Chains A and B, each alone.
Chain A
């Protein structure tokens, strides 16, 4: 199957710091999605990207669809304790009708 390489695997940061995480693939995707998952819950969509080069913000979150369509990044500015959780990237391939997920970035924020 398609491989999405998500990094870093985990991060420990101080409240107020900015955070950056990314996903890369050897395949071209039609859509990139970023999710956050809290313990015991299902993933919740944060940002969806549909066009190469697209830069989209959702509050303190900003994500970009890479120009090559093989990568995406998510930035969180001025982190707060409630940002703690696992962040997943996902890519959608129209030809296969499938979503593929990265292995997640676990974010820890120290108050």
Chain B
């Protein structure tokens, strides 16, 4: 049981390049999400998904796309990288077993992205 895995761990891009950050979980969790973490800003939600085929925007979605074709995978795509997207990106997953509570949310180890 690997939990939440993310690849790559580090990435350097040039402005304008595109790339996909990978996230996978093996806990059969319905809920998956992407956050970015910047110094002094805490964690800000980019996109999230409550199940395969369903995605929605978070607090800071501009410049990012997501898809959820399977329960296990939730990739994050940067369409045209900008220096403002330099950050640490975390993927997380959670089970939504009942209507009024969320199971605990588990985080991956993060991807450290630098855009030059």
Task: Check A30/B100 contact, CB under 8 A, given A42-B90, A103-B41.
Answer: yes
Q: Are A94 and B90 in contact (CB under 8 A)?
A: no
Q: Are B59 and A1 in contact (CB under 8 A)?
A: yes
Hey, which chain B residues are within 8 Å of A100, CB to CB? 45
| Residue B106, interface by CB 8 Å | yes
| Residue A73, interface by CB 8 Å | no
Q: Give Cα A98 to B109, complex, Å.
A: 20
Task: Check A33/B100 contact, CB under 8 A, given A43-B43, A43-B90, A88-B43.
Answer: no
Q: Give Cα A102 to B44, complex, Å.
A: 10
Hey, which chain B residues are within 8 Å of A42, CB to CB? 4, 90, 107-110
- Chain A: minimal CB distance from B104 (Å): 5
Could you mark each residue 58-80 of chain B with 1 if its beta carbon is under 8 Å from any beta carbon of chain A, else 0?
11000000000000000000000
- Chain A: minimal CB distance from B114 (Å): 15
- Chain A: minimal CB distance from B97 (Å): 12
Q: Give Cα A53 to B110, complex, Å.
A: 33
Q: Are A90 and B31 in contact (CB under 8 A)?
A: no
- Chain B: minimal CB distance from A19 (Å): 19
Task: Check A102/B107 contact, CB under 8 A, given A43-B90, A94-B99, A97-B48.
Answer: no
Q: Are B110 and A48 in contact (CB under 8 A)?
A: no
| Residue B20, interface by CB 8 Å | no
- Chain A: minimal CB distance from B22 (Å): 15
Q: Are B100 and A103 in contact (CB under 8 A)?
A: no
Q: Give Cα A73 to B95, complex, Å.
A: 24
- Chain A: minimal CB distance from B46 (Å): 11
| Residue A44, interface by CB 8 Å | yes
Interface residues of A in 80-111 (CB under 8 A from B): 88, 90, 92, 94, 97-104
Closest A-B pairs by Cβ, 9 of them: A42-B107, A103-B42, A101-B43, A92-B102, A101-B42, A1-B59, A48-B104, A43-B107, A42-B109
**Which residues of B are interface residues toward A (Cβ below 8 A)?**
4, 31, 33, 35, 40-45, 48, 50, 56, 58-59, 90, 92, 94, 96, 99-102, 104-110
